[in-house]
Amino acid sequence: MKFLADFFPVLLFFVAYKVYDIYIATAVAIVASFLQVGIHWYKHRRFENMHLVTLAIMVFFGGATLLLQDEMFIKWKPTVINWIFGAVFLGSHFIGQKTIIQRMMGQAMTLPEAIWVKLNISWVLFFVIIGFVNLYVVYNFDTDTWVNFKLFGLMGLTFAFVILQIPFLTRHIKSDEHENSGEKP
């Protein structure tokens, strides 16, 4: 359910684009982003940083798209968001005791420190590359293709990236049961 809530603005953008145009879709995505943040706050009495960052970027780039009637701004938004996430993941190597990926997933699995670092770097690279891939689609294909790529391509590439990490992670996961008993896995 959280997955659908996180992609709520993207899904509504896609539907609004298919029914109307890029400008109506942009306005719908801005409203949906505000709703996403508001609903999450209402249910949990807290904000998620990712939602707030996405909202701010959506308002800035979406607002510029609507104000200037230039769709290029909204097309750059996924790149900017991915590059910001890449910078945050990279910055987590230098701020705090744990990388951001370890903070996010550390409760679910135990990995050696070096593997957390490699995993975090892989996400940094993924975010940077996916930003460039978005720009490639923006500048080499029409808006219809970009809208389809924004929903299906970016989501598909993210799923593929996560799936490709599973074999790597399963080789390195330490069982908490074995660690506590002193046994070797």
Q: Per-residue confidence at 1, pLDDT binned at 50, 70, 90?
A: low
Average per-residue pLDDT for the chain:
89
Each residue of 97-126: pLDDT tens digit? 889 888 888 787 888 888 899 999 999 999
CA distance linking residue 72 with residue 114, whole number of Å: 40
Domain boundaries, the chain: 1-70, 77-176
Q: Per-residue confidence at 177, pLDDT binned at 50, 70, 90?
A: very low
CA distance linking residue 136 with residue 27, whole number of Å: 24
Q: What are phi and psi of 175, to 5 degrees?
A: -75, 130
Give the mean pLDDT of 2-6: 61
pLDDT of residue 180: 45
pLDDT of residue 179: 46
Structure tokens at 129: 């590359």
Share of the chain above pLDDT 70, in %: 91
Torsion angle, alpha carbons of 26, 29, 31, 35, to 10 = -170
pLDDT of residue 4: 57
Q: Per-residue confidence at 30, pLDDT binned at 50, 70, 90?
A: very high
> For residue 67, with 0-12 CB atoms within 10 Å meaning exposed, 13-18 middle and 19 or more buried, which class applies?
exposed
For the entire predicted model, the pTM comes to: 0.85
For residue 178, pLDDT over 50 is answered with no
